[in-house]
C-alpha cells in the first residue's frame, strides 16, 4: 500500500468519481490512477468502488471507511511534514485557523494584520464554518485551532480556552422602556 494510492482514492471521491477530472487535477494520467486504484483493491482484497463497465458508480460501504481512514492518514502525513518544516525553518510554516464569518470579518482583521507583520513567512489560512464544521476541522487536524463564540464544549475532543470578551449590548432610543433599566 502506497500513500499515492490513498491520495488517488481520496481525490477520486473528491471529484465525484470522475477519474479523468482527478487525473487532470493531479497532473497524471487516467489509466495510471485506474491502475493504482485496482492495485490497492487487489492488495486489500476488497472493492473500494462499484463499477459499471469502466466507470466508477459509487463508493462501497467498505470503501467509505477506507476513504475516511485514508483522509486521516494523508492529513497526518501533512502534519508530519509541517512539524519537520517547523523544526528546520521555525520562522516559516502554515497556520490554519477555523472560525465563523463574524469572527473573520469583524474581530480578527487587526489581529491577523499584526500576526502577518510579525511572522511574514508564515502562511496563514482562515477557514470559515459552523461550530460543527470547526470541531470537525480540529478533530481531523485540518485546522490548528478554532476561534468561536458558540458552544464547542459539546464536542468531547475539544478544549475551550478564553480568548477575549465579546461585549453585546441592546441599543434603544432614550424614551424606550428598556432605557430605564440598569442591568
* Domain ranges (residues) in the chain: 3-76, 89-147
State pTM to two decimals.
0.59
The structural architecture, per CATH, of the domain 3-76 is Orthogonal Bundle (1.10)
Report pLDDT for 71. 94
**Which residues of the chain fall below pLDDT 50?**
none
Report pLDDT for 113. 93
Do 89-147 and 3-76 have the same topology in CATH? no
89-147: CATH homologous superfamily?
Periplasmic binding protein-like II (3.40.190.10)
- Considering the chain, what is the average pLDDT of its residues? 87
Closest CA to 98 of 156, 158, 138, 153: 138
**First-to-final CA distance of the chain:** 64
Report pLDDT for 143. 87
Stretch (H or E) spanning 133: helix 131-140
Amino acid at each position: 500500500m502506497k500513500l499515492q494510492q490513498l491520495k488517488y482514492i481520496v481525490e477520486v471521491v473528491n471529484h465525484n468519481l470522475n477519474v479523468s477530472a482527478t487525473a487532470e487535477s493531479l497532473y497524471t494520467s487516467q489509466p495510471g490512477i485506474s491502475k493504482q486504484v485496482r492495485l490497492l483493491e487487489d492488495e486489500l482484497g476488497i472493492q473500494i468502488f462499484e463499477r459499471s463497465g469502466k466507470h466508477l458508480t459509487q463508493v462501497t460501504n467498505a470503501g467509505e471507511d477506507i476513504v475516511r481512514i485514508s483522509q486521516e492518514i494523508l492529513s497526518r502525513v501533512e502534519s508530519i511534514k509541517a512539524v519537520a518544516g517547523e523544526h528546520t525553518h521555525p520562522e516559516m510554516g502554515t497556520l490554519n485557523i477555523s472560525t465563523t464569518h463574524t469572527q473573520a470579518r469583524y474581530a480578527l482583521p487587526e489581529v491577523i494584520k499584526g500576526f502577518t507583520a510579525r511572522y511574514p513567512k508564515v502562511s496563514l489560512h482562515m477557514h470559515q464554518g459552523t461550530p460543527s464544521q470547526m470541531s470537525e476541522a480540529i478533530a481531523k487536524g485540518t485546522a490548528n485551532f478554532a476561534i468561536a463564540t458558540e458552544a464547542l464544549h459539546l464536542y468531547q475532543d475539544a478544549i475551550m480556552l478564553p480568548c477575549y470578551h465579546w461585549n453585546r449590548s441592546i441599543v434603544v432610543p432614550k424614551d424606550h422602556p428598556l432605557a430605564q433599566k440598569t442591568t
